Amino acid sequence: MYRVLEDRGLEATGLDEGDARELYRHMARARRFDERALNLQRRGWMSGYPPFKGQEASQVGAAYAMAEDDWLFPTYRSNAMLLTLGVAMEDILLFRRGFGEFHRETRTQPIFPQAVPIATQIPHATGVGMAANYVDADHGVVCYFGDGATSEGDFHEGLNFAGVFQTPTLFFCENNHWAISVPRERQTASDTLAQKAIAYGFEGEQVDGTDPLAVADLVRTTLDEVRTGTPFMIESLTYRHGAHTTADDPSRYREASNVDDWRMLDPLERFEGYLLEEGIIDEAEVTDWEDTVNAELTEAVNVVESMEPPPPGDMFDDLFESLPTPLRRQRDDVLTRIERSQSTE
Ligand SMILES: Cc1ncc(C[n+]2csc(CCOP(=O)(O)OP(=O)(O)O)c2C)c(N)n1
């Protein structure tokens, strides 16, 4: 497993102090976002939220290492990646309040919609890699998924075709050890998830997902290879510190922790400690950054609150060129019911 923190340190990587500082800023910003989003959900501000606490180093490290034209296939869990790639906080919050994704379009990165059906994005990511080969494009494709996704047929089909067609796809599996209430050891009898790549004809490697330097360094160097048409799989080892979503109560199926080692470390505290000790950041910078992020969050929440809810019919837009009959009926039914309820108010 690749790790550099508290071991060989920054010097062992192709990153410099500027990168380390940026990684820290993205992580601290993502953490504050996650905390605020949870609080907002508890106030009834949005119906549900999937927290990513414990996974910041892994997600920020991977996103930070991507080039501007690399494609990302995210899931509901990977909001720290979206934030790092320039998706505005208010965009993510708006989505959770029922607006279309990327409502305000602040990003330039090609990012697919978040996959909620598990693993469905994996064949898509392979397909975009095949398309890149057809048109001789030189971008890479990063496909994010969780440990649970490796039990789906789509995972095997996607990796199989990636191997056969040598697609420029990096399969980035974030093993947070839980798929809702199913622990990693009930997911597969394989020693590692990374080794599954070998069966499809390419390499896989494990990385300490609580070490942002290791993740960013590994993703950057593997993406250089991947873009030349060599698929690769990374298993990033993290731990889901919180609930699966705000609709979940993890105390029903797990003790405070089922692992008792480095995976339980708080990646933000760990990295902050390292950077302070190395003199790469100082306490004043930590506090200043926290103030900046809090102001950004307050502004994002204000923007979202100032927007009228989207018309309910919107959810049927942008699905098909022309809406199939069953969906057209559903849309008409929704709109008629709303009209009726408004006229009886
Ligand atoms: C095809 C499909 N089956 C079942 C579900 C219900 N479901 C939602 S999240 C989840 C667990 C996914 O775990 P993992 O892939 O490890 O990702 P994580 O939530 O830990 O990020 C399941 C089974 C779903 N969304 N899609």
State the closest ligand 1 atom to the C-alpha of 76, by its place in the atom list counted from 1.
21
Kindly report the backbone phi and psi dihedral angles of residue 124, in degrees, each rounded to the nearest multiple of 5, phi listed first: -60, -45
Q: Is 74 in the pocket of ligand 1 (CB under 6 A)?
A: no
Q: 146 C-alpha to center of ligand 1: Å?
A: 8
> Which pLDDT score is estimated for 254?
87
Could you list the active site residues?
240, 244, 253
Q: Is 247 in the pocket of ligand 1 (CB under 6 A)?
A: no
Q: 116 C-alpha to center of ligand 1: Å?
A: 7
State the closest ligand 1 atom to the C-alpha of 179, by its place in the atom list counted from 1.
13
Using 70 as the pLDDT threshold, list the residues of the chain that sit under it: 256-260, 345
Residue 89: CB atoms within 10 Å = 25
**Residue 238: C-alpha distances to residues 104, 146, 319 (Å):** 31, 10, 35
> Which pLDDT score is estimated for 6?
81
Ligand 1 atom 11 nearest Cα: 179
Among 53, 114, 180, 184, which is best to mutate for testing ligand 1, by the most ligand atoms less than 8 A from CB?
180
Q: What is the DSSP string of 63-98?
A: HHTS-TT-EEE-BTTTHHHHHHTT--HHHHHHHHTT
Ligand 1 atom 12 nearest Cα: 179
> Which pLDDT score is estimated for 108?
83
Q: 166 C-alpha to center of ligand 1: Å?
A: 27
Q: Is 81 in the pocket of ligand 1 (CB under 6 A)?
A: no
pLDDT tens per residue, range 247-268:
999 989 987 655 667 778 899 9
Nearest CA to 196 among 171, 228, 230, 168?
Answer: 171
Q: 5 C-alpha to center of ligand 1: Å?
A: 31
State the closest ligand 1 atom to the C-alpha of 77, by its place in the atom list counted from 1.
21
> Which pLDDT score is estimated for 117?
98
Q: 38 C-alpha to center of ligand 1: Å?
A: 20
* Interatomic CA distance for residues 158 and 94, integer angstroms: 31
Nearest CA to 78 among 47, 44, 115?
Answer: 115
HSE (side-chain half, CA atoms, 13 Å) at 207:
30
Q: Is 82 in the pocket of ligand 1 (CB under 6 A)?
A: no
